[in-house]
Structure 1
Amino acid sequence: MLQERLKGIKIGGTIIIFDRDFGKLVFRDVRGYGNLLDDAEWLLERTPQKSWGFMIRPIIHEKQYGLWIGEYMPNNKITREEILFGGGSSTISELLLEYEESRVGEREIDRKIDIETLRRTLPESNIIQDFKYFVCPEERFYNRCPRLEEIYKAIKERCGSAKRLHYSQVAVIISGIDKCYDVIICPLLASPNALERILIFDKILRSRKIGRMKIADRNIIEVS
């Protein structure tokens, strides 16, 4: 176990879980066994997740701030561990400890610590870089889908000034997108029904106030 290599390590009480099915779960004041591995598996047994994912926890060793990162499987066992110090891990560790002491709020934690931020700031973590969601989390899909504007632009260019397009052409454009590398199933591509994919795309457009895909008749989509 990695903890045994670091004598005198101090462990923070905040743990954030990134689960393939449930998304992000934040636990502020974990007081378990004082052992990184045992605490992690103890917490996993008491949470609703039954999937794959990883968790992060702040640590301090010889005045260095760092992170413990543990990967888990559906059996609630940690299968891989990493300990990182310096750089991005130090910044995230200090932020989590400030949250534990109520010096920053949960809203700031939600805003500053997500999977995209962790990938950018912790490129050395194989666990984080390997992580994939099963289905794109709803919040990310509706609020931050990176493919949305790309698809909308392609559809508008295809229909031109007419602003009308056969639904099959719209469906082909949607189906032709490159799926995000960190998601196994994209909700835009999950349904085998072309019309259903268009309706889902329209819902995202309207939720972000970008545009709309309106069914004009049985086969024609009006683009606005």
Structure 2
Amino acid sequence: MGIWGAVWTREWQLLFRQRQDLLQPLTYFTMVVMIVPLGVDPADAVLTLVAPAIVWIAVVLAVVLSLDRLFRDDARDGTLAVLLTAPTPLWWVLLAKLGAHWLGLGSLLAIAAPIAGAAYGLSLAAAGVLFVTVIAGTLGLMALGLVAGALTVGLRNGGVLVAIILLPLYVPLLVFGAGAVAAVQSGFPGAGPVYFTAALSMLYATLAPPLAAVALRLSYD
């Protein structure tokens, strides 16, 4: 098994072995989805109107909460120092880390999102679009988080700084992801925002590993 496969396997095992790292974002997602409706008009029409934004905001906050573990264990046990000196390009290794994190947590959030949307009264078509935008959008969210995590690795209270860096950058994905669901719920085509969300996520996922590799080397130099 090459180093890429070893990193993927390690990330996947850590994600499900340390279950609190997986359950905390999902619990936070559930709490946001359940609590926010208490502060708005409980009428079905109102809940259906705000559902795309609420669910997407819950997804964004859950992803931000999960980013602390991207480099935490690697920095503690010396794995990160080994990866920095390995002959394999660092960006290639970081791509494996991003892919494992996305398929692990991103897929679970994509499953939970349409369930939450259906509870708010979204139509089946809108819930389906919500699933697609979340599974695509979480890739971009985590890709940006990879870069922010690399910039703040080793810093005390780095999670707060990561949130400050990321939240403004997350706005386009949030707007177009929630907008696609709202458009379908209102009877309009949502293909445009869906394609834009997917394309933006792919762009972030392409650029993030090389940028994160540079940031890690600067952080350790």
Larger Rg: 1
The TM-score with structure 1 as length reference comes to 0.30
Larger proportion of strand: 1
Larger proportion of helix: 2
